[in-house]
Copies of this chain bind each other. A is one copy, B any other.
């Protein structure tokens, strides 16, 4: 193994370093963020930084760069206070990736990248009709990260749309059944298959699987 130290990281060419550091956080979920402005101009952006914040109250977060390609997404969230997180299946990786292009604000990535808007009653942001797991959120707090001028955007989950058959007896959404994509780095898409569901771990008991999945599942 090589040791790459601070000086070596700092000496990396900018794009090379962006790839290197982005890949260190491992596999990330692929989500499409649906928003609109007060004139109902819609926007869709792929984001790989969605993170669980807590279950009670039900909160999800994402890291956003105010002056990057997601500036419209962030601006819309601040304007309306609402947004959607739409899980992206593997089959949509090419059109989902295309939402990361710098389209002008007046062009909706829903149209340009061939996704369908789905509106719910009394909810001020568009869902992605094609997504098998759609989450509607109300903005709860934007926490500035002064270290690098990014923002942690936290939303309170208002509604979830999913096939009830995909919810297991213990409450988990079986995301492998939904064929969701994983992302590594900035540009690589992956398929995922389950290996094992583990029992709740206790100090005096050896680790045990509740279920082992077949390799071909």
Contacts and interface: CB of A to CB of B under 8 A. Distances in A.
Nearest to A200: B187
Stoichiometry, copies per complex: 2
A211 B23 CA distance: 17
Interface residues on A, range: 35 or more
Interface stretch (A34-42, A55-63, A75-83): A55-63
Interface string A59-79: 111010100000000000000
Contacts of A152: 143, 145, 152
B51 A25 contact: yes
Contact of A20 (B26, B61, B167): B167
In the A-B complex, the 10 residue pairs with the smallest Cβ-Cβ separation, listed nearest first, are: A26-B29, A16-B171, A19-B171, A101-B201, A21-B55, A54-B148, A20-B171, A23-B173, A98-B207, A94-B207
Interface of A: 1-6, 9, 12-31, 48-61, 63, 65, 85, 87, 90, 93-95, 97-104, 107, 112, 120, 132-135, 140-141, 143, 145-148, 150, 152, 154, 157-164, 167-168, 170-176, 180-182, 184-185, 187-203, 205-207, 209-210
